[in-house]
Amino acid sequence: MRFDVITLFPEVFSAITEQGITARARKRGLWNIHFWNPRDVTEDAHRTVDDRPFGGGPGMVMMAEPLAKTLELIRAAGNRGRVIAFAPSAEHLTDERVRALSASPDESLVLVCGRYEGIDERFLATHVDAFVSLGDFVLSGAELAACCLIDAVVRQLPGAIKELSQLDESFSTGLLDCPHYTRPEEWRGMRVPDVLLSGHHANIEKWRREKSLEATFKNRPELLIISRSLGRLTKADEKFLALLACEKPAQGH
């Protein structure tokens, strides 16, 4: 999979190009990345890529022309894929969207990393195919958001990580993940749950499923509605959730 990234700060991406799962997957040729700095297509002495906003107001706005010229170079270099930009007002990046992006490992994407107050709307309206948000907050620039998108997509590519690890992650089943423990069996007076030491695989799986349901019930109950509508919850799941609902304290008490 190929990513071409328009950014003023390519060094930020060392977190995914040089570390961990994504770095190993890159070395194995599962994905590659190219960086394009819009300053490189400017013609003035200051290599200007931003200017004051029309109508006044704080901050600076990234100019349309350097971005458009940079995108033209990317197209000439062979990336004809979709162009994605980042905005707090956009649809959130979800596990479903990540899996859709990773479904075609041969696909190419262009990621536009805005800075300052934002990007000239005319470029966004004419050159961007989709927008992504990590949540209802604002970052100083989109580089970190782009890193998150790339990391999430790459780990879904075949061969990037073990399939069993992939299938057992949060959201892969529509629910949050269960708690995890490792050695020692007792740490600062806290023991690993006995069921995980029992060697009884059926009981272990039941415990993990119930803990996953419990975490989702307490922290992201809207995911249960989605799972229920998709028929992902079993009768045993529904019975356990009913018990949790009975135990939940009433509001105001």
pLDDT tens per residue across span 237-248: 999 999 999 986
**94 Cβ partners below 8 Å, 6+ apart?**
171
The answer on pLDDT for 62 being more than 70 is: yes
pLDDT per position as a tens digit, 185-229 = 999 999 999 999 999 999 999 999 999 999 999 999 999 999 999
132: left (phi over 0), alpha (psi -120 to 50) or beta: beta
Q: How far is CA 45 from the centre of its chain?
A: 38
For residue 31, give both structure tokens.
């994905």
Residue 102: CB atoms within 10 A of its CB come to: 19
pTM given for the model:
0.86
**Distance of alpha carbon 207 from alpha carbon 10, whole angstroms:** 44
Let me know: does 144 contact 10? Beta carbons within 8 Å. no
Let me know: does 186 contact 244? Beta carbons within 8 Å. no
The letter for the amino acid at 166 is Q
pLDDT value for 64: 97
**Distance of alpha carbon 224 from alpha carbon 234, whole angstroms:** 12
The answer on pLDDT for 252 being more than 80 is: no
pLDDT tier for residue 168 given thresholds of 50, 70 and 90: low
Residue 21: CB atoms within 10 A of its CB come to: 14
Of 4-8, 57-61, 81-85, the range with the lowest mean pLDDT is 57-61
The letter for the amino acid at 177 is D
For residue 221, give both structure tokens.
């109950």
Residue among 133, 22, 31 nearest 81 (CA): 31
pLDDT tier for residue 167 given thresholds of 50, 70 and 90: low
Residue among 81, 73, 98 nearest 32 (CA): 81
What's the average model confidence in pLDDT over 56-75? 96
pLDDT per position as a tens digit, 14-46 = 999 999 999 999 999 999 999 999 999 999 999
pLDDT per position as a tens digit, 142-153 = 999 999 999 999
**Distance of alpha carbon 143 from alpha carbon 145, whole angstroms:** 5
First to last CA, the chain: 53
Domains by residue range for the chain, with CATH = 2-161 (3.40.1280.10), 186-247 (1.10.1270.20)
pLDDT value for 242: 97
Of 6-15, 35-44, 102-111, the range with the lowest mean pLDDT is 102-111
